[in-house]
Amino acid sequence: MEDNTLNHQNGAQIGPQTVSVTNNKQNEETNPKAQYSIPGILHFIQHEWARFELERSQWEVDRAELQARIAFLQGERKGQENLKNDLVRRIKMLEYALKQERGKFHKLKYGTELQQGDMKPPIIDESSETQMDIDQSYVAVSNSTWKQGRQLLRQYLQEIGYTDRIIDVRSTRVRALLGLNNNTEPEENHNGSSVNGNESNKRASETQGRRTPAKKPQPSSLAEAMMLDTEAAVMANLDFLSNADVDMEDDDDMSDDVDIEPSDDLDDDVKVVKRKGKLDSLGDDVDAEAMEVLNELNLLSESGERQEFKNEHSEWKKGFQSGVPKRPLGLNDDDNIDSALGLGELAQLTVNNDAETTYDIASSKEAFRKTWNAKYTLRSHFDGVRALVFHPNEPVLITASEDHTLKLWNLQKTVPAKKSASLDVEPLYTFRSHTGPVLCLAISGTGEHCYSGGLDGVINCWNIPNSNIDPYDLFEPDVLNTTLQGHSDAVWGLSFLNSKQHLLSCSADGTVKIWAPHNKVQLLNTFTSEADGIPSSVDFVRDEPNRIVAAFASSHCLVFDTETAKPIMRLESSQESVNLNNKQINRIVCHPTLPLTITAHEDRHVRFWDNHTGKMVHSMVAHLDAVTSLAVDPNGLYLLSGSHDCSIRLWHLDNKTCVQEITAHRKKFHESILDVTFHPTRPYIASAGADGLAKVFV
Amino acid sequence: MSKMKMADGSTVVRRNRPGTKAKDFCRWPDEPFEEMDSTLAVQQYIQQLIRHNPANIDLILKMPESQDEGVWKYEHLRQFCMELNGLAVRLQGECHPETCTQMTATEQWIFLCAAHKTPKECPAIDYTRHTLDGAACLLNSNKYFPSRVSIKESSVAKLGSVCRRVYRIFSHAYFHHRSIFDEFENETCLCKRFTQFVTKYNLMSKDNLIVPILEDENTPGESEA
């Protein structure tokens, strides 16, 4: 006892002792720490804290990952649920279709009624069939399936981010399920070995010219009314299809009356698509999306039409952004899969891929470059427009014509026109002074002065009026700044060098002259080449100072040094002397940055020359007729060429490939396009035609 | 310069290439009207005839069979407006707003310029320029003359008003800048051709034709605004 107590006491003592011991220990523990000193303690604590923080952040990351994974799995699960629903629906539809066809065969024996011949999308047909089935059996169920369908639609809307993936997944799964190959031939699809294909065949043949007898028997008057309403709504939506497939009528017949649900779904499709379209893209795409919807629908009908339709559709795709078509396509897919069951779905799947692939092609085409489209038409000249230049900064251009006048145009002052294809522009100012056709133009870098040369051998220097003047203002004689006389024959080429304010001209009198128009002594120098004949075009060499290049009737070009007036380099085009006229150079331009000279020839070629070596670097047949004009874009990447074959071509200078061809202008005698040009700072290109018009493309 | 490939045969390329001399401009063999297949055939034909001989007015104004009369008149009017530019250029040098403050011919009438929202009393040179510019806009407008091969009935009436206004340029030049007028007329016979043209197709009333261009048409009538 005592021992116990003693023990106890001892224990108690030990307790405190142990406590104290522990205290001591703790002290010892702390003491050792204390031995390490306070900074050591702090360090340790900090270390531990950092570790905790690290762990916490790691937990956060893990949690985020897990959450994402959960979301993804949830999505997948939803997708699979939907898939399951679809499959269940399909089964129901197949069952119904079977019943339907049996019924039809039966009814055919008793004759059929004629249905109104509106175009109804087959999708309605499909769903109507189910609808009919449901109507026949359970009215209540129909409502529920309708609501279900709508709910699914809404869900899909919500799952926008997952839509594409799910569709792909589902479509591949479905296809795998049905053992269907990914054909682009809907016919093959129809003729495929799948049960659905056969069914579609049967159905198509069955309904050739026949009205589905299932038109009105079961539906209540209410349903009828609703159908008619939806029919009207669908018709309104799909009006523009009315000129399409004749064969669609077969399926339309098939489709009984437009039932509410399917057509509503369709409406939803269209509306949904349209809504999405507005959200995601420009208004243009809305039409395309609607077209896509209808495209999907049309797939249910004859295959041939489908192909054409798709082709039209893919042609439509020219202006569209790449990302957009995919999305609504996916949506359509969803919706269509929902509402159109069975074979319809399959057919749509294949066509979806078709459409997608075509979209991809179209979009990839557009990925590199912009397509130029005609925007403005400048009508006012009485005779062919020989030359045109853009103002350096403003959307203003000046045209020179064989009717002896130059005209100033402001692209922002368009005439309200009925036809919306391209806007008409009226001129702001007419420059009158030449007594013969005006053949060439040049503009100063500041846009203050422009220079014109004509058949009368005179070069006029004009002060360009403000681009906001009233066209019918008072005449001011000082618009004509100065006249450069010196040439004795027609002036065919002009070029201006901004850095020195020099003007270069070439004339049919055989000389090339360089002028400083605003100096006292205007004519600086004259260049000729006896052997080569008459110069047809000139340009300054832009990457080096004091050089000019002139193209001669002998089809050779000479590079002159402007200070010595001696030729430095000869750009020889290798050919026989026979038919020299054929190889005449119509235009020569120098690249703004590279030592490259480009010439346009009468023999349809465009040739590239190296300024340093004088050798021809490249030669290509550019057009079907003589190439009349060239223009290099301000960045030096593209080349525009115009030709008497009524076409303008845009070339990429790296690989010398044609990236776009535009047909414009009509022929007068044998001349068509006489000049092309780029705007120095804005995305405009313009062409001048012998028909008296100038066109601007954006 | 026309390009005749004699070696090849009969292909004639009617083009004015860069480097063509002024005297060789548009110097190519004539093309018969029937063989012209461009939409601008009528313009081509008229210009071809004028180049041949500007004084042979009867031939120039003679309309080929199977040609729509409205288009014929339209294209001629375009050609007149284009050629009148030459007269305007000459007048620009001499007809100043200080000397000819209004557009008049004989003392009776003052012509108001219709190119503005409300008709305005422009000085003669401005009237000339505005009328020519306005005619260019009208004759080229897509609204009234959308096509070069057929003319709307409603637009044919516009031709008459353009003729009337354009004629005043002739009359002003005749009465106030006689030397310029004579020089220009010797070169181009434009006024005579114009007068014959409007008479032939009844585009203007005879009373307005005050320039005594033909010996037998010496009507000193008053001109109207």
**For A413-473, what is the HEC assignment?**
EEECCCCCCCEEEEEEEEEECCCCCEEEEEECCCCCEEEEEECCCCEEEEECCCCCCCCCC
- B143 and A CB contact within 8 Å: yes
Mutation to test the B interface, candidates A491, A668, A674, A695, most B Cβ within 10 Å: A668
Answer with the residue of higher pLDDT: B196 or A532.
Answer: B196
Is the pLDDT confidence value at B172 over 50?
yes
Answer with the residue of higher pLDDT: A265 or A530.
Answer: A530
Q: What is the pLDDT of residues A463-480, one digit of tens each?
A: 998 888 888 888 888 888
pLDDT bin (cut points 50, 70, 90) of residue B36 is confident
First vs last C-alpha separation in chain A: 111
Answer with the residue of higher pLDDT: A73 or A373.
Answer: A73
Q: How confident is the model at residue A308, as a pLDDT?
A: 44
- Out of A37-51, A106-120, B106-120, least confident range: A106-120
Q: How confident is the model at residue A391, as a pLDDT?
A: 92
- What average pLDDT does range A334-349 have in this prediction? 42
- A361 vs chain B: nearest CA distance in angstroms? 38
pLDDT bin (cut points 50, 70, 90) of residue A447 is confident
- Are A478 and A461 in contact, with CB atoms under 8 Å apart? no
- Are A456 and A434 in contact, with CB atoms under 8 Å apart? yes
Do B143 and A418 count as a contact with CB atoms less than 8 A apart?
A: yes
Count of alpha carbons within 13 Å of A129, Cβ hemisphere only? Answer: 33
Of B39, B89, B129, nearest to A666 by CB-CB distance is: B39
pLDDT bin (cut points 50, 70, 90) of residue A425 is confident
pLDDT more than 90, % of chain B:
14
Q: How confident is the model at residue A100, as a pLDDT?
A: 86
pTM exceeds cut of 0.95: no
Cα distance between residue A685 and residue A352, in whole Å: 37
Cα distance between residue A599 and residue B205, in whole Å: 55
pLDDT bin (cut points 50, 70, 90) of residue A400 is very high
Read off the amino acid at residue A679.
H
pLDDT bin (cut points 50, 70, 90) of residue A455 is very high
Q: How confident is the model at residue A327, as a pLDDT?
A: 42
- What average pLDDT does range B95-104 have in this prediction? 86
Residue A508 with chain B: CB contacts under 8 Å: 19-22
Answer with the residue of higher pLDDT: A185 or A634.
Answer: A634
Do B133 and A602 count as a contact with CB atoms less than 8 A apart?
A: no
What's the whole-number average pLDDT of chain A? 71
- Out of A106-120, A409-423, A515-529, B78-92, least confident range: A106-120
| Binding residue numbers of B for Zn(2+) | 95, 100, 172, 177
Q: How confident is the model at residue A224, as a pLDDT?
A: 54
Residue A417 with chain B: CB contacts under 8 Å: 142-143
Q: How confident is the model at residue A231, as a pLDDT?
A: 59
Of A135-139, A536-540, A573-577, which one has max mean pLDDT? A536-540
Q: How confident is the model at residue A227, as a pLDDT?
A: 59
pLDDT more than 70, % of chain A:
59
Do A382 and B16 count as a contact with CB atoms less than 8 A apart?
A: no
C-beta contacts of A176-179 below 8 A and 24+ residues apart: A177/A87, A178/A346
Do A669 and B132 count as a contact with CB atoms less than 8 A apart?
A: no
Residue A581 with chain B: CB contacts under 8 Å: 3, 17
Do A382 and B79 count as a contact with CB atoms less than 8 A apart?
A: yes
Instruction: For residue A428, give the chain B residue with the closest CA.
Output: B133
What angle, 0 to 180 degrees and rounded to 10, lies between the N-to-C axes of helices A303-316 and A343-368?
30
Q: Give SS3 for A523.
A: strand
Answer with the residue of higher pLDDT: A9 or A585.
Answer: A585
Is the pLDDT confidence value at A79 over 50?
yes
Residue A435 with chain B: CB contacts under 8 Å: 86, 89
Q: How confident is the model at residue A302, as a pLDDT?
A: 43
What's the ipTM? Answer: 0.87
pLDDT bin (cut points 50, 70, 90) of residue A69 is very high
Of A403, A474, A666, nearest to B82 by CB-CB distance is: A403
Is the pLDDT confidence value at A259 over 50?
no
Answer with the residue of higher pLDDT: A165 or B120.
Answer: B120
Residue B97 with chain A: CB contacts under 8 Å: 474-475
Is the pLDDT confidence value at A176 over 50?
yes
- What average pLDDT does range B114-129 have in this prediction? 87
- B131 and A CB contact within 8 Å: no
pLDDT bin (cut points 50, 70, 90) of residue A415 is confident
> Strands, DSSP E only, in B48-124?
103-104, 110-111
Residue A668 with chain B: CB contacts under 8 Å: 38, 40, 43-44
